Each structure stands twice: as structure tokens, then as C-alpha cells.
Amino acid sequence: MPTLKEAEQAMKAAVEAMRREFATVRTGKATPALLDTVKVEAYGTQMPLNQVATVNTPEATLLVVQPFDQTLIGAIEKAILVADLGLNPANDGNVIRVPVPPLNEERRKEYVKLLHKLAEEGKVSLRHARHKARDTIQDLIKAHELGEDEGRRQMDEVEKLTHEHADSIDELLKKKEEEVMSI
């Protein structure tokens, strides 16, 4: 049924969005995803960092940003500084080196709170998809395009999908929380 497929796609998209959001949360290791939220003032507009430079991780505690256009090196450095990621970029004229310092306990706890907030936003997206699917099913029942029993079965299926995807978000949260809290 289209309603179930639409609901499942929306829920899968919500879980994928969570996975991407969690990737941007810092752990003790350097990863290019840390800089995914950085926007650079380039060519008169705000552009994502990955569209104006490549980001590599030659070491576990170092990111190296190589601009495509050398004239943007200052703007990239400034964007990383103002992104409030707790990182201090160093510009040598050709590349920007961004050391990733180890996290202290207080900062780890802040990140865990952020992770819980992001997970809750993901669950809100799941509930929104569930609500939309349930409304559609109820409208089909009222219009006599769907039988009562089939409608109930589909509603149960929507609930089942919602719980499965909520469990996926909880699992992602648990893994990322462990990653953040491990030293």
C-alpha cells in the first residue's frame, strides 16, 4: 500500500538524518564529518566547506583542509573558528591544519545532551510520519476505499514501523554515546 510505503520511507529518511547528525558530533577522534556543519563565505554566498575544500584526516587527532581556491583560505579558517566546534585552525598559506584536542569530561557530557536532543528530534520526525499515515488511512476508511479490518491492520503496521525505527534511533544514540564517553 502506498501509505505504508510512504510512512516507511519517511521514517527511514528520519533515521538516516539522525545518522548524519550524529556523525557531526565530536568524539575524541578526528573525522571529516566534524566540519560538515561549517559554512564558508565564498563568492558572495554561504557555502558548505566540502564544496570549497577537501578535508582529510592524516592522523587520528588532525584534520587537514585543502582549499580548491587558495584565495579562500582565510575565509575557510575564519568559518572553522566561528563554527563553535572548539577547534583552532592553523593556516600555513597552503593548507589549514585543525588539531582535534581530546575532550574533557564536561564537554563529553554536553555532547551527550546534544545527542539526546538530536535523537528526540528524530523521534518527532517519526511520530510526524506516523500521524500522517494514520490520518491517510482513516480518510480512506471514511471514504469507504479501505475496509475497517484492512485499515486496522495497516494502522498496526504503521505502529510496528514506528517502533522499529525508534529502536534504530535508540541504538544509534547508544553507540554514539558510548563513543563520545570513551576516552
Domains parsed from the chain with CATH numbers: 2-23+104-181 (1.10.132.20), 32-99 (3.30.1360.40)
Name 41's bridge partners: 46
**pLDDT at residue 34, as a whole number:** 81
Given a cut of 70, whether residue 2 has pLDDT beyond it is no
Burial class, 112, CB count within 10 angstroms (exposed 0-12 / middle 13-18 / buried 19+): middle
Does the CA dihedral 22-26-30-35 come out positive or negative? positive
Question: pLDDT category, 64, cuts 50, 70, 90?
Answer: very high
Beta-strand ranges (E) seen in the chain are 39-42, 45-48, 53-59, 62-67, 90-91, 96-99
What does the alpha-carbon distance between residue 79 and residue 68 come to, in Å, rounded to a whole number? 15
Given a cut of 90, whether residue 31 has pLDDT beyond it is no
- What is the average pLDDT score of the chain? 88
CB 58 within 8 A of CB 89: no
**pLDDT at residue 100, as a whole number:** 82
Over residues 136-162, the mean pLDDT reads 92
Instruction: Please name the residue that has the C-alpha cell 485499515.
Output: 151
What does the alpha-carbon distance between residue 65 and residue 98 come to, in Å, rounded to a whole number? 8
What does the alpha-carbon distance between residue 23 and residue 96 come to, in Å, rounded to a whole number? 21
Higher pLDDT, 165 or 105: 165
Stated pTM of the model: 0.67
Name 135's bridge partners: none
pLDDT tens column, 68-81: 988 888 899 999 88
